[in-house]
Structure 1
């Protein structure tokens, strides 16, 4: 039995219960502050500035996903445009992440493309890079179509994400090669059935390294998004052994997770970015963080017991 998988699926299942959601939203604020910069853009920018002082760059993400109306999707687009304009005034690297369902993908692929196009038209001239996040497996195909459409329209300041736990990912990577994508590689944080995803952590890790090395050999710029010390060490060993410069890849970690490792990697000369989420729609994001690490569940329980 894969205990990691059992734990993750159990947490994600329980987190979907409305009563559990209400309880955590009401009483686990201390844990939220550990992983979420705040509910406002001003708080997120302060967190980003603090990271920059430590040599770590920030990826700003206005939290939100799976909107239910066009009005809500357009409101999120405006919030992201406000973020883009604020970043344009900053002297440090400018980088945002967006989720397709935040911009109406579940309502209409055309709507999501329209709103993404509007974001990129403002972001690219301001030097703001936009990462198109990847969500759960039913939405992968549409997300890849959005990315390809944007690239075919001439947008270059946009990146994509692939997840190593999905069986389909190597084929997706090969299909993307003509676009020379700026790639973020993750293991995957959603609850996926055994028909579409590896269920064994060892296989997911092995596939992660296989895909990352394949992308590097193909000359792609790769953002290795992981906190696993073994995977980070292997990426460092592989790139050093084959003379791949530090400018050809980077490491990405989550805000509030292993900050000492983030600073150490930056001091070693690697490009390091911390994913800095903010906004009021933080519960789905927090649920996935709890599902990733049993220690986080203990923090939740302490928050609940302590009020």
Structure 2
């Protein structure tokens, strides 16, 4: 359903919609997939997941950072998250985005912000810091920053997106770096990325197998696809690959029972837990990945407990209603 996916991706990039959504707090179904707006509620969520044998990586959501002040504020928030995690003695690390730290303002400025986070991470139990993948236009800046940091720090890694044609070459460049392997959540053109699910899935499996066979660094396999997960389980068994070399990852709020099942089977498991006021762009990208989750919006819109939110955010609710109706029609056509 490429038209539906494009629709939600466009909404995720709409600054007005993002800013309007902040006034409401997680709504339109987003509260199912966003842990909360503050650190306290997020730590409570992590503690509950830890009790089920699940580690967490925390993403302080942030979109459209355009000033140095906003970037420095984001950096300080991330440092505070690490400090609170350390003091609470919970099993969690952080995932960061370089656009949030100012890479589109000034690359050197973003590098210094990221390095400061890593220096603080060393103080707080040598917390692992994962540099998230973003749009293809940001890839060079991300890899250049990582290349400068990985020689000084061992607690930093990044993400490889399987839909990119060059994913294998990028991955092989970081044999000694902890990596998260994903299919890819942004819309990229046919000049740089595979366009069909079959092509992306095939390349994803190739990346996973090659990585597990050739690298001693830890690998996170981030997917909700049970077919790929079952393939990995059989692959590591056939090739005598230790469970200590990899983990499965899933997004908070998706296939939770399956996550508990995998953790219960003894596999390392991490939940990607987003939180913060800037929830709208993240949620729209999740809908782009799986438009069937549109029912989360519909359930939230018609929940009686949300009357006050609807009154405060009438404009965005109206937009979401049109979104729901329009996307539902697109489902039928596609």
TM-score, normalization: structure 1?
0.93
Matched, 1:283 2:271: no
Shift of 1:138: 0.5
Question: 2:160 — aligned with what?
Answer: 162
Q: Take 1:147 and 1:290, find their aligned partners in 2: how far apart are those partners?
A: 29
Q: Take 1:70 and 1:305, find their aligned partners in 2: how far apart are those partners?
A: 40
Computing the radius of gyration over CA atoms, which structure comes out larger, 1 or 2? 2
Matched, 1:216 2:212: yes
Q: Take 1:253 and 1:238, find their aligned partners in 2: how far apart are those partners?
A: 19
Task: Kindly provide the CA deviation profile for residues 32-91 of structure 1, in whole angstroms up to 9, marking residues without a partner as x.
Answer: 210001100001101001101111111111111341001110011111111111111133
Shift of 1:171: 1.4
Matched, 1:233 2:230: yes
Matched, 1:303 2:300: yes
Match of 1:185 among 160, 181, 184: 181
TM-score, normalization: structure 2?
0.85
The answer (yes or no) to whether the contact 1:165–1:187 under 8 Å persists in 2 is yes
Question: 2:76 — aligned with what?
Answer: 78
Shift of 1:14: 4.3
Q: Take 1:105 and 1:21, find their aligned partners in 2: how far apart are those partners?
A: 20
1:113-128 alignment, distance < 5 Å: 113-127=111-125, 128=127
Q: 1:130 to 1:17 in 2, by over 3 A?
A: closer
**Stretch deviating more after TM superposition (288-297 or 138-147):** 288-297
The answer (yes or no) to whether the contact 2:11–2:284 under 8 Å persists in 1 is no
Q: Take 2:197 and 2:295, find their aligned partners in 1: how far apart are those partners?
A: 22
Question: 2:315 — aligned with what?
Answer: none
Shift of 1:288: 0.5
Note the residue ranges of structure 1 that are not aligned, 5 or more in a row: none
Matched, 1:39 2:27: no
Q: 1:126 to 1:277 in 2, by over 3 A?
A: same
Shift of 1:15: 4.6
Q: 1:71 to 1:170 in 2, by over 3 A?
A: same
Q: Take 1:47 and 1:76, find their aligned partners in 2: how far apart are those partners?
A: 21
Shift of 1:221: 1.7
The answer (yes or no) to whether the contact 1:255–1:274 under 8 Å persists in 2 is yes
Q: Take 2:11 and 2:263, find their aligned partners in 1: how far apart are those partners?
A: 37
The answer (yes or no) to whether the contact 1:28–1:300 under 8 Å persists in 2 is no
Task: Kindly provide the CA deviation profile for residues 208-243 of structure 1, in whole angstroms up to 9, marking residues without a partner as x.
Answer: 110111111112321000000001111111001100
Q: 1:89 to 1:14 in 2, by over 3 A?
A: closer
CA RMSD of aligned residues (A): 1.8
Match of 1:172 among 170, 182, 188: 170
